[in-house]
Amino acid sequence: MSNILAIIPARSGSKSVKHKNIKLIDGKPMIAYSIEHAQKSNYINRIIVSTDSEKYAEIAREYGAETPFIRPAKLATDTALDIDVFAHALSFLKKEEDYEPDIVVQLRPTYPIRKVDDIDAMIKRMLRDDSIDSVRSVSEAKEVAYKMWFKSEEDVMTPILTDIPEAYNMPRQKLPKILYQNASIDVIRPKVITDMHSMSGRKIVGYEMKDNFDIDTEEDFERAAEYLKIQRGGKRFVFDIDGVIAMKRADLDYAMSEPNEKMIRIINRLYEYGNEIILFTARGYVTGIDWREITENQMKKWHVNYHELHMGKPNADYYVDDKMLDIKFLYEEFGKI
């Protein structure tokens, strides 16, 4: 059995969100989520929190992590490097306990939302191939690096990437996909840290993820908190059909409606989480036509999971709701399927 160590680095200082590593998010300190992710892994068999704060250490222990040391203050500054933090932890464990892990997993506490399956898949990839120095979680970049520039003091522009001639004039769909390291999960061989003094080594394998919740601002914090509440279930969602679940039809011939497949996947995901899904529609409000049977058949044909369907809603140009959830939020955070 391999010794697989999770290290969660959690310094006490933070400028963007004060004490964000222990700030409550959906009822638990943020650091607790990373500890729980490690606990649920099929491979991780030891969890350590590296912190400079006894208060943080106490919270970490409360949720089941070890805190065999308090990190030196010089390794808890804004400019402290991961490599020095991890080298310190491995050196302490070797010296004080004669403990050497086979694989080290970095789980930053600023990611309260992770899939444990991603952690295990990355570890499994490392166990399968001894030649890999590290596996890093990556996501597709929203901005295309081929369309980015350096600018000189004289305002002369130079493209950042030059391997494709005039890539900046090409449609983005024809350009290579660009990935960035999202810092959610890093899996590393200890010798890379201790011998190469690196957090990545030479052979780095990328593991692509869709979900990515790094907490760096108060806005990030609020979005993640909302996501966790929804993911826990027990909430009631009310969805309009036309313009949300079905594409709008100007001719009001709803029998010819086409499904919005992405939104249907989101609704079904919310349903699977244990949330209550209520559908409503104003179909027939103006014309007096009864569209119930057609609507029910469409929902069945489109495989929409829901609890109730309400026929009827006042016709209007705008609807105002004091609990309105931005549809962009649902697309961005629950549409990554």
Q: Tens digit of pLDDT for each residue in 189-243?
A: 999 999 999 999 999 999 998 766 778 788 888 888 888 888 889 988 888 899 8
Structure tokens at 72: 């030196």
pLDDT value at position 320?
46
Structure tokens at 27: 């009822």
Contact 49, 32 (CB under 8 A): no
CATH number for 233-334: choose from 3.10.129.10, 3.40.430.10, 3.30.1360.120, 3.40.50.1000: 3.40.50.1000
| Spans of all domains in the chain | 4-141+178-215, 142-177, 233-334
> Apex CA 333: angle with CA 329 and CA 337, to 5°?
135
* pTM for this predicted structure: 0.81
CATH topology of domain 4-141+178-215: Spore Coat Polysaccharide Biosynthesis Protein SpsA; Chain A (3.90.550)
Q: How many angstroms from the chain centroid is the CA of residue 43?
A: 21
pLDDT value at position 96?
97
Give the whole-number percent of the chain exceeding pLDDT 70. Answer: 92
Separation CA 68–CA 49 (nearest Å): 8
Q: Tens digit of pLDDT for each residue in 55-71?
A: 999 999 999 999 999 99
Q: Tell which residue, 89, 117, 123, 120, has the closest CA to residue 10.
A: 89
Q: Tens digit of pLDDT for each residue in 82-97?
A: 999 999 999 999 999 9
Across 116-136, b (16+ Cβ under 10 Å) vs e yields eebbeebbeebeeeeebbbbb
Domain 4-141+178-215 and domain 233-334, same fold? Reply is no
